[in-house]
Amino acid sequence: MKLQKNFSVAVILAIIVALGALSYFTYQPILKNLNLGLDLRGGLHVVLEAQEKEGQKISADTINKAVGILRNRVDKLGVSEPLIYPQGERRVVVELAGIDDPEEAVNIIKNTAELEFWDESGKVLVTGKHLKEAQARAGSEGQGFEVAIDFDKEGAKLFADATTANVNKPLMIVIDGKVISAPTVSGPITDGSARITGNFTAKEAENLAVLLRSGALPVSFKILEKRTVGPTLGSDSLSKSVKAGIAGLIAILIFMLGYYRLPGFIADISIVLYSILVLGTMTLFGAVLTLPGIAAFVLSIGMAVDANIIIYERIKEELRWGKTLKAAIEAGFNRAFWTIFDANLTTLIAAFVLLYFGSGPIKGFAVTLSIGIIASMLVVLTFTRYLLVLSADLTKNHKLYGV
């Protein structure tokens, strides 16, 4: 009997020490690698709506192509982990976290970037679909910057025909219907190379080159919603949320310890493991933590504690009916299992519905809640149960179990 007690004490202490070490060594990596959402890091949220023109039907394929091109543009801006996704039948949502110049990003995103070369009469001679490369560089005449472009084989032939037919005439360079410049053609250009000039600054030339390299959008978009969250506001929101979360967590730990005593202490240990599991899983799978996600995290802690309370109340009932401590623990878990399972399953179904139909912060909430529910089930039904069974070897005093 004494040997069993010593063994249980040693195992419980080893678990506590291991959990403390796990918390210590994972704390910084989790904080460093956890992806924070737009509302916590600051950034730009834009909703674009496709504009239908006469004879142009907007389909799911059109929107998907636009998403691909927008992603290409954003990647070239150097923004890490952008969120770009379709919303409904004709909308695209773009979320860029941690960008320095939101207005510049908006300008690059919304432009269609349709490049055309017109003759004097406005006839389109060559279009950007034959473009092979576009690079910004210092102006060849020593003034400003320009964009050097190269056409593919078919484009090179069309451009050669266009310049041959317009020697000593202006050839207008048009982007999105706006004439950028109209240089006079001095002679046929047959090598498939051209320059777009227009007194650009270095940044303007680079942005234009990015747009041209990314390709023209298959449809024009208008900005339906634009929301900018400053880095300071995001940091402030994060700080307040973390403080609220810690305060709530401490209150729960004190309540569980004071009301349920020894099982409450075990529940507190389980919550620590639960928190590491949830945040570690989010970090591992690259999930994004948003303000609603923090709310979901706190909510799932409450659900995990609720599961403990259901079990502990069942155990207290079994003890009052005269069962031994270990028999009461087994019976308590068996009787509480389906109640906990049903409650978590229904919440998990609701979370999946939000995940499927929701977007942005709603998805963040659903992802965090789903991970939290699964983690709480695992921790409560395995880890907490094992510790409770071990604790039954430490004392038979029912008062320590709140009876």
Do 106 and 119 share a domain, yes or no?
no
Q: Which of 197, 229, 261 is the last residue of a domain?
A: 229
CB 99 within 8 A of CB 111: no
Tokens 């991970």 identify what position? 371
User: Do 200 and 223 lie in a common domain?
Assistant: no
**What confidence tens digit (pLDDT) does each residue in 270-311 have?**
999 999 999 999 888 878 787 888 888 888 888 888 889 999
| pTM, to two decimals | 0.63
Q: What is the DSSP string of 312-329?
A: HHHHHHHHHTT--HHHHH
The proportion of the chain whose per-residue pLDDT surpasses 90, expressed as a percent, equals 11
Is residue 10 domain-shared with residue 34, that is, in the same domain?
A: yes
pLDDT digit string (tens) for 325-352? 888 888 989 988 999 999 899 999 999 9
Residues 1 and 75 in one domain: no
Q: Does 47 share its domain with 85?
A: yes
Q: Are 261 and 304 contained in the same domain?
A: yes
Question: For residues 183 and 40, is the Cβ–Cβ distance under 8 A?
Answer: no
pLDDT value of residue 230? 66
Q: Read off the DSSP letter of residue 381.
A: I
Report the pLDDT value the prediction gives residue 277, as an integer from 0 to 100: 92
Instruction: Tell me, yes or no, whether 137 lies in a domain.
Output: yes
Residue 152 predicted with pLDDT over 90:
no
Cα 29 to Cα 18: distance, rounded to the nearest angstrom = 17
CA-to-CA distance for 281 and 312, rounded, in angstroms? 28
Q: What is the CATH number of the domain that holds 66?
A: 3.30.70.3400
CA dist 349 → 232, 353, 377 (Å): 36, 6, 15
32 and 71 part of one domain: no
Q: Is residue 89 part of a domain?
A: yes
Q: Are residues 33 and 58 in the same domain?
A: no
The CATH number of whichever domain residue 276 belongs to comes to: 1.20.1640.10
3, pLDDT greater than 80: no
Cα(262)–Cα(329) distance, integer angstroms: 13
Residues 250 and 365 in one domain: yes
- Summary mean pLDDT of the chain: 83
* Residues 32 and 57 occupy one common structural domain: no
Residue 360's domain comprises 1-39+230-401
Give the CATH number, domain containing residue 193. 3.30.1360.200
Beta carbons within 10 angstroms of residue 279's beta carbon: 22
Residue 81 in domain:
yes
Which pLDDT belongs to residue 234? 60
- Which helix (DSSP H) or strand (DSSP E) does residue 92 occupy? strand 91-97
Q: Is 171 contained in some domain?
A: yes
Residues 242 and 381 in one domain: yes
201 in Cβ contact with 56 (< 8 Å): no
In the listed set 196, 229, 262, which residue is the last one of a domain according to the structure? 229
Q: Is 212 domain-assigned?
A: no
Do 129 and 216 form a contact (C-beta atoms < 8 A)? yes
pLDDT of 232 reads 59
Could you tell me if 149 and 224 lie in one domain? no
- The C-alpha atoms of residue 365 and residue 374 are separated, in whole angstroms, by 14
Per-residue model confidence (pLDDT) at position 174: 82
Q: Which of 53, 55, 45 is nearest to 92 (CA)?
A: 45
CA triple 108-38-32, angle to 5 deg: 115
Output the pLDDT for position 360.
65
Number of structural domains found in the chain:
3
Sign of CA dihedral 357, 363, 366, 370: positive
Kindly give the residue spans of alpha helices, DSSP state H, lying in 111-201. Answer: 153-165
Residue 271 lies in a domain: yes
pLDDT score at 248: 82
Query: What is the C-alpha to C-alpha distance for residues 214 and 216, in angstroms, rounded to an integer?
Result: 7
Give the DSSP H or E segment for 193.
strand 193-200
For the chain, state the CA radius of gyration.
Answer: 31
165, 195, 229 - which closes a domain: 229
